[in-house]
Amino acid sequence: MITVRHGNERGAVDMGWLSSRHSFSFGHYHDPRHQGFRSLRVINDDRVAGGGGFPPHPHADMEIISYVLDGALAHKDSTGTSEVIRPGEVQRMSAGSGIRHREFNASATDPVHFLQIWILPEARGIAPGYEQKAFPLEEKLGRLRLVASRDGRQGSVTIHQDVDLYSTVLREGDRVGHDLRPGRYGWVQVARGQARLNGIDLKEGDGAAIQDETALLLEGTGDAEVLLFDLA
């Protein structure tokens, strides 16, 4: 069964410097029908204007993944980490026992567009940690590239949960398949462009919850960038 979460039905926030769409309940947006999916708790589609950003704030017991689509996102946290995330890079921050951080547009003039993803960890109170890696376009073009996993295999960033996160960039006519093992679930998020999942047309911002399916087929119906979560 595949259940589509249409992008234009997501929660919306517009603060001037921030325009955000929430796939699941977050902050002031609450919808009892959309509280997350399996261990996937947050997918926020954020656009931050030049010079804008989130002030320092705390997190605990959450795996937070930042996936930049356009522009550059600066990150500073209480562990002393200070980095800039650019398109093609994936950052994982384990909030664990507690961390404070701030995220802000690295440019004073150009916008930054990114997905912020929260995943519930398999254990509470772990030591806070951070990891960032680059995944070149050629590794994702017309294929699924593992970018985050529990064991960090294939050079992916390591997350403290039984989740495999794949990224793919599809041109029109490209086809990529993925098999879900028995008892596994999936979530597909179209970060941009348009694609087809098992015959269902999806557009930018759309998500799809997948259960009781084994074979998945993603097709490019135009240029697209898509994330696929394989979830316990």
Residue range 162-215, pLDDT digits in tens: 999 999 999 999 999 999 999 999 999 999 999 999 999 999 999 999 999 999
Residues contacting residue 178 through CB under 8 Å, at least 6 positions apart: 144, 166, 186, 215, 216, 218, 228, 230
Report the SS3 class of residue 77.
strand
How many domains are contained in the chain? 1
Whole-number pLDDT of residue 101: 79
Question: pLDDT digit string (tens) for 92-137?
Answer: 999 899 888 788 899 999 999 999 999 999 999 999 999 999 999 9
At 152, the pLDDT band (50, 70, 90 cuts) reads: very high
How many residues comprise the chain?
232
Indicate the average pLDDT of the chain: 95
**Residue 116 to residue 91: CA distance in whole angstroms:** 10
228 neighbors 168 (Cβ within 8 angstroms): yes
| Domain membership of residue 83 as a residue range | 2-231
Q: Rounded mean pLDDT of 7-15?
A: 95
Whole-number pLDDT of residue 197: 98
211 neighbors 1 (Cβ within 8 angstroms): yes
Residue 52 has pLDDT above 90, yes or no: no
Instruction: Give 53 or 90, the one with higher predicted confidence.
Output: 90
Residue 19 tokens read as 């325009």
Instruction: Give 101 or 86, the one with higher predicted confidence.
Output: 86
Whole-number pLDDT of residue 117: 98
- Report the CATH number at residue 86: 2.60.120.10
